[in-house]
Structure 1
Amino acid sequence: MKPIEKLMRTAPVIPVLVIEDIASARPIAEALVAGGLSILEVTLRTDCALDAIAEMKKVKGAIVGAGTVLNDAHLTAALDAGSEFIVSPGLTEAVVESAFKHDVPILPGISNASDIMRGMDMGLRHFKFFPAEASGGIAALKAISAPFKDCLFCPTGGINIQTAGKWLALESVLCVGGSWIVPKGTSDFAEVEQLARIAAAIHHN
């Protein structure tokens, strides 16, 4: 099993985290891990994102990666901060080749058959379907993925606790990405742990 697939099979939901206050990084990671979600994606959308990755890495049991990786510079900075995997909103040769060079698991974003074919040409079989709901939802992924029986997906974008189970029912879906588990700006870490527990209990193929 490839390292990225092992990560994707660890829990049914990967929290997609936008950390705006570095002081909340470690408590959020602790709450998520306590709730049963150990694979954490920190998006590089805030000034403190790289510091947040380093802080979250200190939490026992947390496997922390970087999301919104757009280029080689982002990827290198993310790895320097301790990222254990890379997630990108799209698929480019530059980012994929950089991930291969650094031997780090990567989950690039795709939204159509051409993206998947380009990724397969690069040797990839695991993809993020993004933005999942805006790209046509479950019906779209069913149709797009049908010709690619050996490809596996993590849909992200617009998914919530009500719809996550429907996505996970698809054979090609190993996990989903979700931002609902950590409400924006929250300091209620007990609530985060409870939301993580609920997410971790969603039916997983």
Structure 2
Amino acid sequence: MEFPQAILSRLRTSGVVAGFSVERVADAVPIARALLDGGIDAIELTLRTDAGIESVRAICAEFPEMLVGVGTILTPETAKQVHAAGAAFGVAPGTNPRVVRAAQQAGLPFAPGIATPTDLELAIELGCRFVKFFPAEPCGGIEYLRSMSAPYKHLNIEYFPLGGINADNMLLYLQEPNVLAIGGSWIVNKQLVESQAWTGISARAADVIKRVKESVKR
């Protein structure tokens, strides 16, 4: 299924999606609260730990105002679980037709990962018009994205770059018309989570939002 315009509009307005994984379910709600307190209301919780799905449920139940995306969806069954957990959308590092179709069947808006023109054409064939560009910086960064996406500009594909993006280079991506939002994995710092320094995460989120508002018209 195509992404609902309401979600795409939220992502464009947010600009920055905080990406993180959760080691303990007990940390999920405090992390989400810290991000909201800092002004970030969109996340990509990656399923890289056993606490992933339960953490999605907890955040969705506690913060209906948070736009909850889930990443690292690698199997059709996981796509169904993510939808049942209440997530607003899902993403993956690559383009697996079986996973894309399962997400579509479940009614989960889904952005597959692309890194090459071949990846992008496969995603387009599967009906996707919003895709994750991953890993963004190792692939060549914003210059590579501009060149790679140029032949498909008339199709109005929109991109969600992640991988190697930070506070110093994020504005280069957000100033591109076809970049809807970027993923920021540096915001939820692992050491801050381990020490439960939630105000530190809020401060990092607030700094990001301040930079975006000062430099990017969205």
TM-score by length of 2: 0.89
Name the residue aligned to 2:116: 112
Any conservation in 2 of the 1:4–1:105 contact (CA below 8 Å)? no
Q: Which runs of 5+ in 2 are unaligned?
A: none
| Mapped partners of 1:144, 1:31: distance in 2 | 36
| Aligned-partner residue type, residue 198 of structure 2 | F
Any conservation in 2 of the 1:42–1:49 contact (CA below 8 Å)? yes
Aligned residue for 2:87, secondary structure, equals: coil
| Mapped partners of 2:202, 2:209: distance in 1 | 10
Aligned residue for 1:161, secondary structure, equals: coil
Name the residue aligned to 1:46: 49
| Mapped partners of 1:141, 1:4: distance in 2 | 23
Q: Deviations over 1:18-72 (max 9, x none)?
A: 1112221101101111222111111000111111111111124112121000110
Let me know the Cα RMSD of the aligned residues.
Answer: 1.5
Query: Of 177, 182, 187, which residue of structure 1 is paired with 2:183?
Result: 177
Query: Of 189, 201, 206, which residue of structure 2 is paired with 1:197?
Result: 206
Any conservation in 2 of the 1:168–1:204 contact (CA below 8 Å)? no
Q: Deviations over 1:101-156 (max 9, x none)?
A: 11221111100111111111122111110000111111110100111111110110
| Mapped partners of 2:121, 2:25: distance in 1 | 39
TM-score by length of 1: 0.94
Q: How many residues align?
A: 205
Name the residue aligned to 1:151: 157
Name the residue aligned to 2:93: 89
| Mapped partners of 2:197, 2:140: distance in 1 | 33
Query: Of 32, 40, 57, which residue of structure 2 is paired with 1:37?
Result: 40
The Cα shift of 1:159 comes to: 0.4
Any conservation in 2 of the 1:4–1:126 contact (CA below 8 Å)? no
Any conservation in 2 of the 1:109–1:130 contact (CA below 8 Å)? yes
Any conservation in 1 of the 2:79–2:106 contact (CA below 8 Å)? no
Name the residue aligned to 1:14: 17
| Mapped partners of 1:3, 1:120: distance in 2 | 21
Query: Of 69, 89, 99, which residue of structure 1 is paired with 2:73?
Result: 69
| Mapped partners of 1:3, 1:112: distance in 2 | 28
The Cα shift of 1:184 comes to: 1.1
The Cα shift of 1:204 comes to: 4.9
| Mapped partners of 1:20, 1:156: distance in 2 | 21
Identity of paired residues, percent? 35
The Cα shift of 1:4 comes to: 4.6
Any conservation in 2 of the 1:99–1:105 contact (CA below 8 Å)? yes
Name the residue aligned to 1:56: 59
**Structure holding more helix per residue:** 2
Name the residue aligned to 1:188: 197
| Mapped partners of 1:31, 1:59: distance in 2 | 12
